[in-house]
């Protein structure tokens, strides 16, 4: 039987941020995830915005954590080498009714302690964003709304936690939790039993099912789907800022923004589902995105789409972000309702959960040798000519371009595979180095990446997975 102090269920942004925070202390931590890679479910299919919390409900835990998290990012992304840019967001008022809402939104931002929101005139907006609807009447500027690479963010948290002693059990599903005398005793998984004193439930979409394992099923998770378009980097109608609509009660609305790698992101929808698995995109959903975003940026070129995707927000019923601890169940911390801002608030959630654990008797002694930095994968196409020559001399695999759309070399793919918590599947490679993320979506580099994965993991090519076990890329010979 495995033994630890803390089991974190879920290797998404939230679970990995908690694990990294706990890795600063003399405590044994195991992160368990049913997926084959770190990165979560919702954490890899979102808008990739680091929010300020300007539009949160004032006084809520969500507001507290998002507002606290935003200023943590500049140092965090520097320490962990995560692509990040403080683009700022523009909230344009197109109609008179929207224009009249601006003071209330600014006032709400103030109540959330986001003090740097500014009014913009029509002229200022059109100067900042020439492709904005010329009928715009004015708007708000939220300077610290930022964009990030959400895949690398979670990988970086996990790799750094791992380097500081956290164990990750991937491809391992939690199937039960044992308690004794109102205390946590062990966690049952498909990989065996883990004896533990603490369980942190960061299972997002499935956190209600985990809570039911300890008799705390006080809520239900309802998946709220968001569909997106990704446009080609060369699309002629671009924006430089995050262009946000005036938010409604249900959703932040459909936006257009650059991604950290220079594509345009357009979406998402907000549709409550009656299941937790339907990640399809639909004709109606996509049409509604075009209709809404054209009100903000009329010239958006949807024909330049290179792919579409959807993500499921782990919405909670009754709603609201909750972090619960019960007096009659020592050692159990339950997170639920980490819905639309979880990527952002994860940074503060780690600190919040560690503090809660201290307040509930967990002795957390700071590790003298905690290493706060992580080295990212060296990106060949961002190097100078001299650096490229030097790196090819050191390792000729950097001279072999595998993904032509994104200019990704074999050297980078090898690094993605062999680093801590390295890539074992096609999607895991894609999310680490972007091979297959470009215009051809892996049409050219896919077969080469399959061969590299098979060679490096010493497995037959027909055992290489797209993502989960059994999602084979190759199923047999055609002749
Ligand atoms: C469309 C959309 C847009 C969004 N936009 C933004 C945005 O711009 N900015 C922002 O801050 N947030 C955004 N969010 C929200 C954000 O993505 C989520 O709140 C956040 O990713 C949740 O992280 P998580 O770690 O809690 O969950 P997840 O990433 O879902 O991770 C949970 C993990 O738990 C694991 N798990 C579940 N059950 C089990 C089990 N039984 N055993 C083992 N493992 C288990 C899963 O495999 C998964 O890996 C958006 C979300 C969506 C869907």
CATH code, domain carrying 35? 3.50.50.60
For a pocket test of ligand 1, which of 61, 313, 337, 342 has the largest count of ligand atoms closer than 8 A to its C-beta? 342
Specify the pTM. 0.97
* pLDDT for residue 76: 98
Q: Is any atom of ligand 1 closer than 6 Å to the C-beta of 199? A: no
Q: Is 472 a domain residue? A: no
3-state secondary structure 251-292: CCCCEEEECCCCCEEEECCCEECCCCCCCCCCHHHHHHHHHH
Say whether both 215 and 228 belong to one domain. Answer: no
What does the pLDDT look like over 198-256, one tens digit per residue?
Answer: 999 999 999 999 999 999 989 999 999 999 999 999 999 999 999 999 976 666 789 99
Ligand 1 proximity of 343 Cβ (cutoff 6 Å): yes
pLDDT tens digits for 427-436? Answer: 999 999 999 9
With CA atoms as reference, report the closest residue to 140 among 86, 102, 101, 111.
102
Output the pLDDT for position 249.
Answer: 64
**Does residue 211 line the site of ligand 1, with CB under 6 A?**
no
Best residue for ligand 1 mutational test, from 19, 39, 40 (most atoms within 8 Å of Cβ): 40
**pLDDT for position 476:** 83
Q: Would you place residue 58 in the very low, low, confident or very high pLDDT band (cuts 50, 70, 90)?
A: very high
Q: Count structural domains, the chain.
A: 3
Pairing of strands 332-336, 255-258: unpaired
Q: Is the CB of 152 under 6 A from ligand 1?
A: no
479 within some domain:
no
CA of 339 to the centre of ligand 1 (A): 8
Report whether 266 contacts 289 (CB < 8 A).
yes
Per-residue model confidence (pLDDT) at position 251: 65
**Position 348 in a domain:** yes
pLDDT in tens, 439-456: 999 999 999 999 999 999
- Measured in angstroms, how far is the CA atom of residue 314 from the centroid of ligand 1? 7
Residue 231 sits in the same domain as residue 278: yes
Does the pLDDT at position 41 exceed 70? yes
- Percent over 90 (pLDDT), the chain: 96
Q: In testing the pocket of ligand 1, which one of 49, 61, 260, 343 has its CB within 8 Å of the most ligand atoms?
A: 343
Q: Are 112 and 67 in contact (CB under 8 A)?
A: yes
Q: Is 146 in the pocket of ligand 1 (CB under 6 A)?
A: no
Query: Is residue 194 lining ligand 1, measured as CB closer than 6 Å?
Result: no
Q: Give the mean model confidence (pLDDT) for residues 123-137.
A: 98
Please report the atom of ligand 1 found closest to the CA of residue 209: 41
Q: Is 464 in the pocket of ligand 1 (CB under 6 A)?
A: no
Could you give the C-alpha distances from 448 to 428, 442, 455, in angstroms and in order? 15, 10, 11
Average pLDDT score over residue span 269-279: 96
Q: Residue 255, Cβ neighbours under 10 Å: how many?
A: 24
Distance (Å, whole) CA 84 – CA 149: 7
At 341, which helix (H) or strand (E)?
A: none
Alpha carbons within 13 angstroms on the beta-carbon side of residue 415 total 20
- Residue 13 CA to residue 349 CA, distance in Å, equals 10
Respond yes or no: is residue 51 known to be catalytic: yes
Structure token pair of residue 116: 């740097």
Q: How far apart are CA 463 and CA 456, in angstroms?
A: 13
In the reported structure, the alpha carbon of residue 89 is separated from the centroid of ligand 1 by a whole-number distance in angstroms of 23
**Does some domain include residue 167?**
yes
- Within this chain, do residues 285 and 238 fall inside the same structural domain, yes or no? yes
Residue 478, pLDDT score: 83
Query: Does residue 176 sit in the same domain as residue 200?
Result: yes
34 touches ligand 1 (CB under 6 Å): yes
pLDDT of residue 247: 78
Q: Does residue 226 sit in the same domain as residue 215?
A: no
Q: Of 51, 241, 381, 418, which one is the catalytic site residue?
A: 51
271 lines ligand 1 (CB under 6 A): no
Beta bridge partners of 265: 230, 257
Same domain membership, residue 119 and residue 228? yes
Tens-digit pLDDT profile for residues 148-205 = 999 999 999 999 999 999 999 999 999 999 999 999 999 999 999 999 999 999 999 9
**Residues contacting residue 312 through CB under 8 Å, at least 6 positions apart:** 41, 42, 45, 205, 223, 224, 225, 226, 273, 276, 278, 279
Domain extent for 37: 2-45+150-219+318-359
Q: What is the mean pLDDT of residues 321-332?
A: 96
Which residues sit opposite 332 in a β-bridge?
199
What pLDDT was estimated at residue 479? Answer: 81
Q: Can you give the pLDDT at residue 250?
A: 60
What's the 203 CA to ligand 1 centre distance in angstroms?
Answer: 8
Q: What mean pLDDT is predicted for residues 66-87?
A: 98
For the chain, count helices (H), then strands (E): 13, 24
CB 266 within 8 A of CB 302: yes
In contact, 324 and 303? CB cutoff 8 Å: no
Helix (H) or strand (E) holding 213: helix 207-213
State in Å: Cα 137 to ligand 1 middle. 36
pLDDT tens sequence across 350-364 = 999 999 999 999 999
- Which residue in this structure is represented by tokens 């782990």? 314
240 with 285, same domain? yes
Report CA(478)–ligand 1 centroid distance (Å): 39
What gap in Å lies between CA 194 and CA 29, rounded to an integer?
Answer: 11
Query: Is 52 touching ligand 1 by the criterion CB < 6 Å?
Result: no
Is the N-terminal amide bond of 112 cis, ω within 30° of 0? Answer: no
Question: Residue 228 CA: which ligand 1 atom is closest?
Answer: 1
For residues 232 and 302, membership in a common domain is answered with yes
* 428 three-state secondary structure: helix
CATH number for the domain that contains residue 395: 1.10.10
Q: Look over the chain and give the mean of its residue pLDDT values, rounded to a whole number.
A: 96
Locate the ligand 1 atom nearest the alpha carbon of residue 13 and give its number. Answer: 25
In this structure, the answer to whether residues 134 and 244 fall within a common structural domain is yes
Cβ 342 under 6 angstroms from ligand 1: yes
Q: Which residue has the least CA distance to atom 35 on ligand 1?
A: 10
Q: Residue 285 is part of a domain; what is its CATH number?
A: 3.30.9.10
Please tell me what DSSP assigns to residue 96: H
Q: Is 198 exposed, middle or buried (0-12, 13-18, 19+ CB in 10 A)?
A: buried
Check whether residue 301 and residue 324 sit in a common domain.
no
CA 311 to ligand 1 centroid distance, Å: 9
CA of 44 to the centre of ligand 1 (A): 7
- Inside any domain, residue 116: yes
Q: In terms of Cα–Cα distance, which of 264, 271, 333, 287 is closest to 14?
A: 333
pLDDT at 477 over 90: no
CB 229 within 8 A of CB 286: yes
Smallest CA separation from ligand 1 atom 2, residue: 46
Same domain for 107 and 228?
yes
- Round to whole Å and give the CA distance between 47 and 255: 9
For the stretch 286-324, pLDDT in tens is 999 999 999 999 999 999 999 999 999 999 999 999 999
Mean pLDDT value across residues 317-344? 96
Instruction: Say how many C-beta atoms besides its own lie within 10 A of residue 449's C-beta.
Output: 27
- pLDDT given for residue 240 in this prediction: 98
The response to whether residue 289 sits with its C-beta less than 6 Å from ligand 1 reads no
In a domain, 275, yes or no: yes
Nearest-angstrom CA–CA distance, 108 and 114 = 9
Distance (Å) from CA 34 to ligand 1 centroid: 13
Give the number of C-alpha atoms closer than 13 A to the C-alpha of residue 171, restricted to the C-beta side. 9
If pLDDT is split at 50, 70 and 90, which confidence band does 366 have?
Answer: very high
Residues 28 and 110 in one domain: no
Residue 66 lies in a domain: no
Q: Is the peptide bond before 143 cis (omega within 30 degrees of 0)?
A: no
């Amino acid at each position: 039987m495995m033994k630890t102090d803390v089991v974190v269920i879920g290797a998404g942004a939230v679970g990995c941020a908690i694990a990294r925070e706990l890795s600063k202390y003399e405590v044994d931590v195991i992160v368990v995830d049913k997926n084959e890679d770190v990165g979560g479910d919702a954490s890899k299919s979102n808008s990739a915005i680091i929010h300020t919390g300007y539009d949160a409900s004032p006084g809520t835990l969500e507001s507290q954590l998002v507002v606290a998290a935003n200023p943590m990012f500049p140092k965090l992304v520097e320490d962990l080498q995560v692509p990040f840019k403080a683009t700022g967001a523009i909230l344009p008022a197109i109609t008179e009714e929207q224009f009249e809402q601006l003071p209330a939104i600014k006032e709400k931002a103030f109540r959330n302690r986001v003090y740097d929101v500014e009014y913009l005139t029509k002229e200022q907006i059109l100067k900042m964003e020439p492709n904005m609807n010329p009928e715009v009447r004015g708007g708000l500027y939220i300077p610290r709304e930022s964009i990030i690479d959400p895949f690398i963010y979670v990988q970086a948290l996990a790799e750094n936690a791992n380097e500081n002693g956290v164990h990750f059990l991937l491809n391992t599903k939690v199937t039960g939790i044992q308690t004794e005398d109102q205390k946590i005793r062990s966690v049952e998984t498909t990989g065996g039993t883990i004896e533990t004193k603490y369980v942190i439930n960061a299972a997002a979409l499935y956190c209600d099912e985990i809570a039911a394992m300890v008799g705390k099923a006080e809520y239900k998770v309802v998946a709220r789907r968001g569909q997106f378009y990704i446009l080609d980097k060369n699309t002629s109608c671009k924006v430089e800022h995050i262009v946000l609509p005036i938010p409604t009660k249900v959703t932040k609305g459909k936006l257009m923004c650059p991604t950290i790698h220079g594509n345009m992101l357009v979406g998402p929808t907000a549709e409550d589902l009656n299941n937790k698995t339907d990640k399809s995109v639909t004709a109606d959903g996509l049409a509604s995105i075009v209709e809404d975003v054209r009100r903000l940026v009329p010239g958006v070129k949807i024909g330049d789409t290179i792919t579409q995707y959807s993500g499921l927000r782990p919405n909670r019923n009754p709603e609201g972000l909750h972090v619960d601890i019960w007096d009659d169940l020592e050692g159990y911390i339950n997170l639920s309702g980490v819905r639309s801002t979880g990527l952002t608030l994860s940074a503060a959630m780690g600190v919040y959960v560690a503090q809660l654990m201290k307040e509930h008797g967990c002795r957390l002694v700071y590790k003298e040798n905690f290493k706060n930095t992580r080295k990212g994968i060296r990106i060949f196409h961002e190097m100078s000519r001299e650096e490229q020559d030097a790196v090819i001399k050191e390792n000729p695999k950097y001279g072999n371009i595998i993904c032509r759309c994104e200019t990704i070399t074999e050297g980078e793919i090898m690094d993605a595979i062999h680093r801590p918590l390295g890539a074992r599947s096609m999607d895991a490679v894609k999310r680490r180095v972007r091979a297959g993320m470009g215009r051809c979506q892996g049409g050219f580099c896919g077969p080469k990446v399959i061969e590299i994965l098979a060679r490096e993991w010493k497995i037959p090519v027909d055992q290489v997975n797209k993502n989960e076990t059994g999602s084979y890329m190759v199923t047999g010979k055609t002749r």
